[in-house]
Structure 1
Amino acid sequence: MSFLGQIGAQLGDAFAYCLVSRGGGGGSLVFGRDSAVPIGAVWVPLLQSPRALNFYYVGLVGLGVGGTRLPIPESVFAWSDDGDGGVVLDTGTAVTRFPGTVYEALRDAFVSSTMGLPRAHGPSIFDTCYDLYGFGSVRVPTVSFYFNGGPILTLPASNFMIPVDGMGTYCFAFAASESELSIIGNIQQEGIQISFDVANNLVGFGPYTC
C-alpha cells in the first residue's frame, strides 16, 4: 500500500507536488486538504485502470496547438477492451509520449506553425529541434491538453521547448510511444503545482507555480 494509502485519512486524502523548473525555483511536496486542494486549479477526474492499480490515470481527450484543437479521435486516449492504453500522469518519465499517430499529428501541427525557425539536429529521442543560437526571444504556438468534461491545460513554452546543449539547440519535448499507452511526463509538469484530491478522485493543475 502507498504511503498516502496508509495515512491518507489523517491527511485528508490529499497531497500536492511542484517539480523544480529547469529555469530555477524550488520544488515542494505538501500534504493535507488545506494546502493541497487549492482554489482555481484546473481539476480533472482521476481514472482507475482495470489493469494497473498503482498508476494515476487521467481523462485526456485531445490536444491543441496555437489555441486550435487537433482532429484527433478521443478514442486513441481511451483504454482498449483488454485494458491497454489510457493516459498516465507520471513523474518518473521525463518526456511525454503519445501513440505514434497522435504524436505525429501534434508534431506536424507544431512544425507547420514554426516554419520560420531554423531547424537543428538533437538527441535521438527528439525529431523536432531548432537552432535558436543568437535569438533574444522567439514566439512559438501554445500546446494544450484537453480533458474529459471540458478543462483545458495550456502549457508554458518552457514545458515543451527545452534546451539540449549549450549551443542554442532547443527541442520539442514530446515523443512517440511504442505502445497504446500515453504518458504525461515530468517535463510537462515542471513548475506547475499538481494536486491530488484522492478522496474525490480528482487531480488539479495550478494555479500555483514553483
Structure 2
Amino acid sequence: MSLDPTKLPDPPMPSYTFTIYHRDVFEKSKFKDYDSLLENRLARSHARASSLASIIENGNGIGENETLARQHNAQGSKIDREKVPKSTSTYFVNGEYVASFRLGSQEVRNFLLIDTGSDLVWWQCGPCEPNKCYKQKLQPLYVSTESKVFRKIDCFLHGERCLEDLDLSFKCISDHSCTYDFKYADGSRTKGFMGDDVITFVLDQRPVRIIFGCSKDQTSGTTFSGEYSGIAGLGRRKIMGGYSLPTQFGADLMSMCLPGFYSATGSTLNFHTTKWPRATSAKLVPNIKYPSFYFVNLYKVFINDREVELSPSWWNFKKDLTGGIFVDTGTTISYFPQEFYTIFRYVFREEVRDIPMVDTPAGSLDTCYKEDPSGRGLNFPVVKLYFGSVSPSTMLLLAKERVILHFRGQYCLAFSGWDRSFAILGSNQLQGVGLTFDTSANTLSFDIDACN
C-alpha cells in the first residue's frame, strides 16, 4: 500500500526546514511487486539522464548562462561556441524526492518534487484554464485568488529572468506579466505566469515570501503525477536572475539527507544550517555555462583497494565547459562515460569472488550476479570515491545497497556507462548520506548513514 500524504504529519521543525520523502513511498501501490517498482524507477533514471545529456550537449538548456559564457569567451577563453537559435527550451524529467510545503495564506499543504538541477519553482495554480490542470489525488489544489497575500510579478520590477530573454521559455507581455512555457523531454508541458506568495513553516508559523510559477495549463506526459503539484528547484545559489530556493532564501548552506528508497519515515531538507560533522568533503566546481548544477572534483576511483586506472585530468571540464561530474538527486543510478565505465566494470567483476555472474542481466543493468539459493547474504566489493586528493577526509565509501541493486532475483551493479562526456553521481549512491552544500566555501560534504 502507498502512504496517504494527508496522514503524514509535518513535524515541528524550524524555519527553512522541510520534510522530504522518496516518491515511491506514495506511488508503490501502482505496481504489482518490488521488481516492477524498481524497473519503473530505473526507467525514470534513464529518461532523466538522457534528457540531461541532450540539454547539456546541445547547449540550450535550463541552467545555462548564455551571458556569462559570452563574457568568458570575450575575456580570452579558448571556448569556441556556436550560436544556438533561440527556441523554447526542453526541460528534463524531474525528481525522485518529494518535499512537503504549506502554500499561501491558507497554508494549503502540497508536495513538490525537489530537483538539484533546476533553478525554478512552480506548482499548479487555480483557477486553471478549463480542463488544463491534472487531478491532484491526495492534496487540494492551491488557488491563488483564495490566498490573501498572492501577487503577480511585474517583469519590469522583479522579472529578471523574463528580461534576460535568453530563451523563449519566459516572456514579458503587455500587462507586464512574466509568462512561461516549460516543455519537458517526455512531452509534458506547463504554462503560466510568475507570482509570489508565502510558504509557512510549522514550528514558528513563520511565513516566507517566494517567487514561483503559477501554472494554469498542463499537458501531462509522464512527468506530472497526481501525487505532486509541481517542482521545487534546488539549483545552486545565484547572485542574480535565479529562482531556486537557495537563491530566494539567500542560503549559501543547504543540507539534506536522502531517505532510503523504501523509508516511510522521511528526512529533512534544511537551509542556512547543517547538523552533520562534514566527515568527507569535495570541492564544488563552478561551471559558468551550467551554473545551477553541483559539479564536484572527483579525483580517483577505487574498487576495494584497487585503483580504476585513468588520468585524474579526465574528470576536468573540457575547453567548451562540457565534461566533469555533478551530483543529481533526480537520477537514480550513477552514470560514467563509457571509456571509464568499461574499465570500472572490468575491475569490479575481477574483484567479485565466488559469486556466479548471470549471462542475461536484469533490465538495463549489465553486471548482475545470482542470488544465493539458501538466502545467504553475499559480499560485494566497495567503491571508494576520492575528491581532490587521496586521504580519509576526501573519501566517500560506498558499500552494499549503494553499490548493488537487488532486481529480479539478481544482484546488479548500480552504475551504468553511456556515450557522453560527463558523469552523474546519482541518488542510489547517496541514499542515507547527509549532504551539506556550502556554496560560500564551495564544498559538498558527505556523512554516511546520517539519516539513521
Q: TM-score, normalization: structure 2?
A: 0.43
Equivalent residue in structure 2 for 1:73, among 286, 289, 311: 311
Residue 92 of structure 1: CA displacement? 1.0
1:183 matched to 2:419: no
Q: Which amino acid aligns with 1:130?
A: Y
CA distance in 1, matches of 2:278, 2:420: 34
1:148 aligns to what?
A: 388
Q: Which moved more, 1:13-22 or 1:196-205?
A: 13-22
Change (3 A) 1:195 1:111: same
CA distance in 2, matches of 1:45, 1:203: 6
CA distance in 1, matches of 2:246, 2:278: 24
Unaligned runs of 5+ in 1: none
Residue 33 of structure 1: CA displacement? 4.4
1:123 matched to 2:365: no
Q: Is the 8 A contact 1:62 1:145 kept in 2?
A: yes
More strand by share: 1
2:14 aligns to what?
A: none
Change (3 A) 1:189 1:26: farther
Q: Per the alignment, in what secondary structure is the counterpart of residue 47 of structure 1?
A: coil
Q: Is the 8 A contact 1:122 1:164 kept in 2?
A: no
Query: Could you list the runs of 4 or more consecutive aligned residues of structure 1 that deviate by over 4 angstroms after TM superposition?
Result: none
CA distance in 1, matches of 2:271, 2:246: 10
CA distance in 2, matches of 1:22, 1:7: 28
1:112 aligns to what?
A: 350
CA distance in 1, matches of 2:389, 2:275: 19
Change (3 A) 1:41 1:70: same
Change (3 A) 1:171 1:55: same
Pairwise CA RMSD: 1.8
Name which structure has the greater RCO, CA cutoff 8 Å, separation 6+.
Answer: 1
CA distance in 1, matches of 2:401, 2:264: 13
Deviations 1:172-202 (A, max 9, x none): 0111122111000111111111111122111
CA distance in 1, matches of 2:264, 2:383: 23
Residue 30 of structure 1: CA displacement? 3.0
CA distance in 2, matches of 1:123, 1:137: 19
Change (3 A) 1:125 1:149: same
Give the percent of matched residue pairs that are identical in Structure 1 and Structure 2: 25
Q: Which moved more, 1:104-113 or 1:125-134?
A: 125-134
Matches within 5 A, 1:20-169: 20-22=259-261, 24=263, 26-34=265-273, 36=274, 38-120=276-358, 121-134=360-373, 135-150=375-390, 151-165=394-408, 168-169=409-410
Q: How many residues align?
A: 204
1:8 aligns to what?
A: 250
Q: TM-score, normalization: structure 1?
A: 0.89
Unaligned runs of 5+ in 2: 1-241
Q: Per the alignment, in what secondary structure is the counterpart of residue 199 of structure 1?
A: coil
Q: Larger C-alpha radius of gyration, 1 or 2?
A: 2
Q: Which amino acid aligns with 1:136?
A: R
2:434 aligns to what?
A: 193
Q: Per the alignment, in what secondary structure is the counterpart of residue 92 of structure 1?
A: coil
